[in-house]
Structure 1
């Protein structure tokens, strides 16, 4: 089964105070670079959603991996809708897309393996930690048209709720499924490690 990772990195990071995608981790890598590398450990095809005004080279993202979201400033849900519409228009051959947030490089590869083991064209597969939903969330191809038509700015929560029968939740002990970066302090090595 062909899969790809879709990294949502088109936000403005207003709470962070600067472009967090370029913020350095303890090992010197930029946050988005580390997330792409982690996703690349399990996905040979990794795409990144960026804004129309982004310069991919400034973020060390190859042009061939970029999906531009014209509606990125309207929220994550619209960025995802733009990306899934682009995948459908390109007749992307993958059966499953893992939606991964650009500020989450700490997801364990073993967690991704568990999610992939449950993935299918008619499923939504997501990890949970202490009953809290996390990322990445894997969407089978049957759900892509609904994602492409999503008009909710806050991501795909409402869509997942409407498709509960397709949802498979995988309980994990991996804190990386919830750990993201909202402020510079979240990059503190004492709090987070890759």
Structure 2
């Protein structure tokens, strides 16, 4: 099974005040942290979708992971759906599945990603679960990739495609990951108490 890693890192981070890909947690940008998790979790190839501060984020990505493919989402301002569509369109032929990770979920590390990827099949969909509640990451088998891309638009990523489906497998990752998003400086401070105290 070839499970590509698809990292969505294009957002402007308006509530954060800076693109979230460049937000520093524990001494490194979130995009670097997420890339390392994908690599250590066994995802290859790795595709990173950039948008806001594209040149700066691209440089950080290339320095951290020279093997990663960087894709610019031309309509990234419209929302996550446009970034997802750009990333899916950049996947190379021959991948069996795509593991989608959001750059602002630093609590999802390599162990959780590997666990979800291990359950992937070309015809299936797998989601990470937290005490039974579905969340990220999501792995789409290749049989779904075109339909997911077609359904993604504006700020609607894969949510619409996943809604109401009864064929999505859940893999529990709550024992090794957290589902928290980093959307605001307060979220960041909560995850990095030392930094918050210093500030």
TM-score between the two structures when normalised by the length of structure 1: 0.84
1:160 aligned partner: 162
Helix, strand or coil for the counterpart of 1:154? coil
Match of 1:37 in 2: 36
Matched, 1:21 2:21: yes
1:185 CA drift (Å): 2.3
Q: 1:179 to 1:54 in 2, by over 3 A?
A: same
The answer for unaligned runs of 5 or more in structure 2 is 195-199
Deviation, structure 1 residue 117: 2.2
> For 1:115, what is the secondary structure of its paired residue?
helix
2:180 alignment partner, SS class: coil
CA contact 1:136–1:177 (8 Å) conserved in 2: no
Residues 33 and 58 of structure 1, relative CA distance in 2, 3 Å threshold: same
Query: TM-score scaled to structure 2, two decimals?
Result: 0.83
> Structure 1 stretch 170-179 or stretch 138-147: which is displaced more?
170-179
Bigger shift: 3-12 or 151-160?
151-160
Distance 1:86 1:172, change over 3 A: closer
Are 1:71 and 2:70 matched, yes or no?
no
Q: Is the 8 A contact 2:12 2:52 kept in 1?
A: no
Q: How many residues align?
A: 186
Is the 1:127–1:171 Cα contact (8 Å) retained in structure 2?
A: yes
Give, in whole Å, the separation in 1 of the partners of 2:44 and 2:20.
25
Structure 1: segments with no counterpart, 5+ residues: none
Deviations 1:103-152 (A, max 9, x none): 22321433223212210011110011134322111010000111221244
- The aligned residue for residue 178 of structure 1 is 179
**Runs of 4+ with deviation above 3 angstroms:** 56-59, 174-177
Q: Considering only aligned residues, what root-mean-square deviation do their CA atoms show, in Å?
A: 2.3
Note the alpha carbon deviations across 1:31-52, whole angstroms, 9 max, x for none.
1111111111022422100128
Deviations 1:153-188 (A, max 9, x none): 2211110126x2431112332473412210122223
- The match for 1:190 among 181, 188, 193 is 193
Instruction: Work out the CA distance in 1 between the residues paired with 2:49 and 2:180.
Output: 20
